[in-house]
């Protein structure tokens, strides 16, 4: 189990044109993508971008061994 899944994050996509969150398990069946899709994570019905999820993981992690700074890769 990864840190993200242990904190309740699930990989997902947000279609910001319709504000619909799609779990990434459904992405395997997608035959075409839209320009309005953003990759990230879902947790308790809320969408987090990858950066926001990483920041939340740092703040919420019981380990606190994660780097204090997130690089913009």
pLDDT of residue 18: 95
pLDDT of residue 65: 57
Question: Which portions of the chain are predicted below pLDDT 50?
Answer: none
pLDDT of residue 61: 75
Give the Å distances, CA to CA, from 36 to 1, 13, 19, 24, 62.
Answer: 30, 10, 10, 15, 34
pLDDT of residue 17: 94
What global pTM score does this model have? Answer: 0.72
Please name which of 20, 58, 54, 52 lies closest in space to residue 12, comparing C-alpha atoms: 20
pLDDT of residue 8: 92
pLDDT of residue 29: 63
């Amino acid at each position: 189990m990864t840190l993200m899944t242990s904190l309740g994050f699930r990989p997902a996509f947000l279609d910001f044109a319709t504000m619909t969150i799609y779990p990434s398990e459904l992405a395997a069946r997608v035959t075409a993508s839209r320009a309005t899709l953003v990759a990230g994570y879902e947790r308790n019905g809320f969408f987090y971008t990858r950066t926001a999820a990483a920041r939340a993981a740092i703040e919420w992690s019981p380990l606190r061994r994660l780097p204090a700074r997130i690089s913009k890769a």
